[in-house]
Amino acid sequence: MAVGHNVFVLLLAVICCIGECKKRNVLLIIADDAGFETSVYNNTVVRTPHLAALGRRSLVFQNAFTSVSSCSPSRSTILTGLPQHQNGMYGLHQGVHHFNSFDGVQSLPLLLGQANIRTGIIGKKHVGPGPVYPFDFAYTEENNSVLQVGRNITRIKLLVRKFFQTQRKEEEGRPFFLYVAFHDTHRCGHSQPQYGAFCEKFGNGQSGMGRIPDWKPEYYTPDQVKVPHFVPDTPVARADLSAQYTTVSRLDQGIGLVLAELREAGYEDDTMVIYSSDNGIPFPNGRTNLYGSGTAEPMLVSSPEHRERWGGTSQAYVSLLDITPTILDWFSIPYPSYCLPGTPTTPVSLTGRSLLPALVSEPSPSVWHTVYASQSLHEVTMYYPIRSIHQGAYRLLHNLHYRMPFPIDQDFYVSPTFQDLLNNTLAGRPTGWFKTLQQYYYRDRWELFDLRSDPEETVNLAGDPAHATVLESLRDRLVKWQWDTGDPWVCGPDAVLEDKLEPHCRPLYNGL
């Protein structure tokens, strides 16, 4: 016995010497509704020195996409690696929307906890049920003001410090996963209009706004901002964007504080840091849409063990569905075998991939060239199922219930940009937008775009005979992914899914 034990200890020591036992932690930073308003993505106006510093220690992905353009669904996909239609979080979690993931989902925090990794969340959680998303350390909107834990960067700094202080007291060598979910740069006009359209006044020290001691607000004039192609170029939209930029400065300085805490606690050299956002920016054609403008995300992956490509960029197509596989790979944790309601007889498998190989060398463009997306609802009243595939130069969208008007969420409805668009449309004035409201509300069932010649996605090629082969091939791949991920919508809108015995589609003869 004693001899065996000693051999075991010796073996462990040898393995540790060659690096296998190296401590590894993860810091995941997710912004809220943030886009490419940072110098990391060549926006030369907005000042984001802390993201820029992180970018110099990261591989910067230029083709990263969310699989769903809505907050809770997206956060559920980040924390499970499963699309919304598979994990059950079809729409927003909070309030009357009431969506939750299936009880049986084996989420990232659950698997990490089982592997004795300490888990923490600071900021916006917005997913449930609680037992599916367990965290050892939790300061979220569930028992705090979301403004405090999500936008007050001094408070966030102190909570991160508290997490690291309690980490030291934990048993030696226990790794951690810390998820910091900022509420910036989300809109604010719907819930706290007194702080401005983006809560850009909250904590700025002016009368009635309170003070966030660590925040030095950065201000921009409407004529300075860069108007994305899908936002109307009007004075109102420009003023809206300049408010958004000010909240970017709070996000950026908050990220700087979090990274400084990580460094000061001595974890910088054994912690992988991932930065991204949940969905598109809250402007028309952005959030709640599966167009590129609603799904493209910033994505920075910084690994102290993979310095080869620090400061470099990758063209690989990656998805927020890749975050869970990447973190499981980092901790060498296998994905368990179990089933979910969508595929009751086939074990769930992750359709994303670990991003770690990309940190070593650029993946072959013929392999990392496809991402999928799936939207069902945002608010409970906003049913508009879309499935999409983006492969190489093409994006194909399937708008299942295309005869319904595209729904508008409350928070976006009251935004100055949308009110201006409504007013101008109603008055017959130029809107400064790249499409009409009528086009936005009523879409074709299939939308196919060639992003090389049409990056703004304005020419639908789905009906073009010259693109029939491309359309067919993308449609087949998209439907295959839907079957693989147990999508209850796989037969819609012209057939019904009969899933007893052998799942198959039965035609409805409804003329679609």
Ligand X SMILES: *[C@@H]1O[C@H](CO)[C@@H](O)[C@H](O)[C@H]1NC(C)=O
Question: Contacting ligand X (CB under 6 A), which of 113, 210, 357, 392?
Answer: 210
User: Looking at 88-96, 203-211, 386-394, 479-487, which segment touches ligand X (CB under 6 A)?
Assistant: 203-211
Q: Among residues 62 and 460, whose Cβ is nearest to ligand X?
A: 62
Distance CA(293)–CA(289), nearest Å, equals 8
Q: Rule CB under 6 A: say whether 313 interacts with ligand X.
A: yes
Q: Among residues 211 and 263, whose Cβ is nearest to ligand X?
A: 211
Q: What is the four-CA torsion angle of 56, 59, 62, 68, rounded to 10 degrees?
A: -120
Q: Among residues 54 and 471, whose Cβ is nearest to ligand X?
A: 54
Question: Contacting ligand X (CB under 6 A), which of 26, 181, 212, 273?
Answer: 212
Whether residue 301 contacts residue 59, with contact meaning beta carbons closer than 8 Å, is answered with yes
The residue with tokens 């090629």 is 461
Note if 16 is an active site residue: no
Q: Rule CB under 6 A: say whether 94 interacts with ligand X.
A: no
Distance CA(185)–CA(187), nearest Å, equals 7
Helices 235-264 and 49-56 meet at what angle, rounded to 10? Answer: 50
Q: Among residues 221 and 315, whose Cβ is nearest to ligand X?
A: 315
User: Looking at 19-27, 134-142, 159-167, 314-322, which segment touches ligand X (CB under 6 A)?
Assistant: 134-142
Q: Which of 266, 251, 129 is nearest to 185 (CA)?
A: 251
Binders in 409-428 for ligand X, by CB under 6 A? 416, 419-420, 423
Choose the catalytic residue: 16, 71, 188, 339: 71
Distance CA(152)–CA(484), nearest Å, equals 42
Question: Contacting ligand X (CB under 6 A), which of 24, 35, 38, 41?
Answer: 41
Applying CB under 6 A, the site for ligand X has a residue count of 22
Question: Contacting ligand X (CB under 6 A), which of 60, 320, 321, 474?
Answer: 60
Q: Among residues 429 and 480, whose Cβ is nearest to ligand X?
A: 429
Distance CA(115)–CA(111), nearest Å, equals 6
Helix (H, G, I), strand (E, B) or coil at 4: helix
Binders in 328-357 for ligand X, by CB under 6 A? none
Helices 153-169 and 235-264 meet at what angle, rounded to 10? Answer: 20
Q: Among residues 133 and 449, whose Cβ is nearest to ligand X?
A: 133
Question: Contacting ligand X (CB under 6 A), which of 3, 18, 42, 96?
Answer: 42
Q: Give the x/- contact pattern for ligand X in 139-178, rule: CB under 6 A.
A: xx-xx--------x-xx-----------------------
User: Looking at 209-217, 300-308, 347-355, 391-399, which segment touches ligand X (CB under 6 A)?
Assistant: 209-217
Cα-based distances in Å from 206 to 188, 202, 244, 247, 503: 17, 9, 18, 15, 61
Which residues have CB under 8 Å from 452's CB, separation 6+? Answer: 393
Helices 416-426 and 235-264 meet at what angle, rounded to 10? Answer: 160
Q: What is the DSSP letter of 346?
A: S
CB of 162 to ligand X, least distance (A): 10
CB of 145 to ligand X, least distance (A): 8
Helix (H, G, I), strand (E, B) or coil at 325: helix
Residues contributing to the site for ligand X (CB under 6 A)? 41-42, 60, 62, 138-140, 142-143, 152, 154-155, 203, 210-212, 236, 313, 416, 419-420, 423
Catalytic residues: 71
